[in-house]
Structure formats: structure tokens, C-alpha cells
Structure 1
Amino acid sequence: MQLSSKKYFAEGDIKSVNLFMFFLLIFHCFFLSALSDNVLTIYSRVSFNLIIITSFFSVEKEFRGISGPAIAIAFITYWLAYFFDKDFIVVISSVLLAIVFIITVFNLLRQVASKKTVSADTLIQAISGYLLIGIVFSLLFTLIIRVNPESVNFAMNKGDGNNVVILDTLYFTFISLATVGYGDFLPVSPFARSMSAFMGITGQIYIATVIALLIGKFSSSKT
């Protein structure tokens, strides 16, 4: 009885964390652009840091020993990149954050696959994984633009400052993942083009995988 109660509360904690992370991701991906420039940096940093922290708590306790050190190092390098703004620190920070979020995506998919039935929590986990994929590619494209500003052609002037670039890459990644594409953000360099193609394929594979998992669970619950 004691073990089952501990398991129940552990699952409840993870559900709460997943729900909190879901709303954080919705805010970060879709509502940051509505903020004025003077508060954009603050809210962007706060929401991004909270996403990093919730990535740790969204993982089951038995796997936190693996993900914890990676998240801690990514968190530290993220702030080092903010204060020192050196290219090599930014590269390390972006790559580590991408790895952390990829681990989180796989963990969310594993949680979806382990569920016996389709619930609201299952859908939240699946959507959160998709949004995290968008953030991963946004990080990578922001890094690509930093290393080579000519690797991407903006149809509109991207302006000054990192905030605009981050918002542009967030927009571009989700438009590409959805395979819409309006032509206002064009990858020019070979690496940027390859990354764009990989991003589009990744989005389709993720959707196909999640749909297959959800349909399988829905069908099994009916039999």
C-alpha cells in the first residue's frame, strides 16, 4: 500500500509539472511576440529558465540522475552565455540545451507510450514534445545565424538585437514543422538548407509516431 501510494503521488507530481511546462511552452512559443521590447527580454529569460527547470522535474525520478547533470551544466552555460556573450560559450550552451530538450522529448514520448489509455495528460505530453522540438530547432537556427548571418535571408529586416532573431527563428521553425512556409525566411547556406529539410522531416515523423501511439491506445481501450 505504501509503495502504491508513493507511485500515485509521484505520477501526480509529474502530471502537475507536465501541465505547468505545457503552459510555459504555449506562452514562450506563441505569446512572447505580443510583448513590448522593454519587457520581452525579461519574460523570455524567465520562461526559458522555467522550461529548463521543469524539463528536469518532468522526468521520472529513476532517470533524473542521468538528465540532472546535463540540465545543470546547460543551465550554467546558458547564463554564462548571457553574461559573457562569447561565441564558443553560446555554441556550447545552445548545443547542451538542445540535447537536454531532446532528452525531454524522448522522455515525454516514453510516458505517452507507457500509458494504457488516451487522457488529457497524454495529449498534453504529446503537444509539449512537439513544442520542444520547435524550440530545439529555434536554438539551432539562432546559432546558425550567429555564426553566419548570411546563412538565412529574411524577407523583412530582422532589426537589431537577439530578441528579434529568436522570435523570427521560433516563427520559422513552427512554420517549417507544420510544412506551411510563406517564403519570408529563406535558408541560403547549404547547412541551413540541410537543417531546414531535416526539421521538416522530423516534424512529420513526430506527428506520425504520436498519431500511431494514440490510435493504438484508443483501439486497445475499445477491445
Structure 2
Amino acid sequence: MSEISHKERNSYLYLLIALVTFFVVNPFIEGIAMQRFVFGILFTSVLVFAVYAIIHRPRLTIFMVILVAIDVSSYWAHAIFEVHWALAIIKNCATIILFWVVTISLLIHILREKRITLSTLYGAISIYLLMGLSWGFLYNLIEIANASAFAFQGMERMTETIREQSFIYYSFVTLTTLGYGDITPVSEVAKTFSWLEAIVGQIYVTVLIAHFVGVHVAQSVKNN
């Protein structure tokens, strides 16, 4: 397998920057008048750079562009015009599918690499962050379908943006097995996906470390 190209290396870095910006800025926009608008801009940038990271794979390009179009249009239509809740379901479904397609595509590409470079590290970190994001939107989808799927402590009134942010927070707390307990799964569906995320997160870290160690050893043997 050839090394990651210059274009791919940049796309992985751009995706990582978009993700980090999304996570860093979000806590500081809570309560401002333009919160949903700023959240939407950050969210849209993540979608665009996620697709850009795998745009060099022609078979996925058209499918991903369609997904982004559906995702972005449904998000902004729901946010601006506050139309039917079905748009929120469409947006969450499109987001989950898009993030997992990107995640799996990046993972396959990284595991095929024969060298550990900054590009592979950018991609590996982005995969972990995308996993947390995708599960966050999955929990949001579960909550839309069943308003009592989760129990919240000290969060009685939530806007849709705050709810989405809360589930992203819960997702990473679960993914990293911190388990603070301020958000608790109540329904069986919510419980099942919560423990599944914790397991997948641990498996990913274990497999990734094993792969990097194996590649490093192979590189050392080859160089010697």
C-alpha cells in the first residue's frame, strides 16, 4: 500500500482541526442569541471536511455529497423555520450514516498503511472523535423517538441545541468510560447502545495501539 498522499494528509488535518474547533467553541456559545446558528456553522464545517477526507474515493463521492446535502438542508430548514420534527429525524439519520461511512473508510485506509506518520495519527484521532459524535447523534435520535429514554439531572428545560450538545457530552463520557451519572439511560434501547459504545471505544483503542506497535516493529526490523 502506498503512503498517504499530500492531498489526503491535508484532508485528515483539516478534518481534525474542524472537529477540535467544534468541540472547543461549543461550550462558549451556550446561551447566546445566535447559538443555534453558530452551532450549525461548526456542524456544517465538520460535515464538509469529513467528506473531503474521503473524497479521493470515487465510489463514495456521489453518495456522500447526497448525504451532506440532505443533512445540511434538513438541519437549516428545521433550525430556521422550525418545521416538522421529521426533519430532525432525517438530519440525525443522515449524520449518523455519514459519520460512520467516513469513520469506516478512514479506519480501513489507516490499517492498511505500512508506516506511522503524522497523517495516520491525524486520521486515528479524527476517527475516535467521529465515533463519539456519531453516537451522540444516535442518542439524540433515540430521545426524539422516546422522550423518556434518558434521565437528566438538573436539566429540566433544554433547547434542541443544548440537548444535542448534552448527548455529545454523554457520548464521550460513555466512550471514555468516565460515567459521571448526570445523564442516565433509562430505556432498554438507550442502555444497549450505551454499553455497546463503551465496548467499541475500548476495542478501537486496543486494536489501534496493537496496530501501531506492529507497524513500528516492522519498520524497525526493515530499517535494520
Q: Shorter-chain TM-score: which interval?
A: 0.7 to 0.9
**How far 1:158 sits from its partner (Å)?**
4.4
**How far 1:119 sits from its partner (Å)?**
1.3
- Cross-structure match for 2:20: 26
Does the Cα contact within 8 Å between 1:158 and 1:165 map onto a contact in 2?
no
**How far 1:36 sits from its partner (Å)?**
4.2
Q: Distance in 2 between matches of 1:166 and 1:89?
A: 15
**How far 1:84 sits from its partner (Å)?**
4.4
- Cross-structure match for 2:39: 44
Superimposed CA distance per residue, residues 78-123 of structure 1 (whole angstroms, 9 cap, x where no aligned partner): 3343334423222122112101100100111122123221111111
- Cross-structure match for 1:14: 8
Moved more, 27-36 or 116-125: 27-36
2:163 counterpart (165, 168, 185) = 165
Q: Distance in 2 between matches of 1:76 and 1:34?
A: 25
Q: Distance in 2 between matches of 1:131 and 1:85?
A: 30
Q: Distance in 2 between matches of 1:36 and 1:190?
A: 31
**How far 1:23 sits from its partner (Å)?**
1.4
Gaps of 5+ in 2: none
TM-score in terms of structure 1 length: 0.88
Superimposed CA distance per residue, residues 171-211 of structure 1 (whole angstroms, 9 cap, x where no aligned partner): 11001000110111111111111111111112112212222
1:113 and 2:108 equivalent?
no
Q: Give the aligned length.
A: 216
Q: Identity over aligned residues, as a percent?
A: 23
- Cross-structure match for 1:134: 132
Q: Distance in 1 between matches of 2:29 and 2:78?
A: 23
- Quick check: which one's helix share is greater? 1
Gaps of 5+ in 1: 1-6
Moved more, 192-201 or 77-86: 77-86
**Structure 2 residue identity aligned to 1:103:** V
Matches within 5 A, 1:1-223: 11-38=5-32, 39-59=34-54, 60-63=56-59, 64-82=61-79, 83-223=81-221
**How far 1:66 sits from its partner (Å)?**
4.1
Does the Cα contact within 8 Å between 1:177 and 1:203 map onto a contact in 2?
yes
Runs of 4+ off more than 4 Å:
none
Moved more, 65-74 or 161-170: 65-74
TM-score in terms of structure 2 length: 0.87
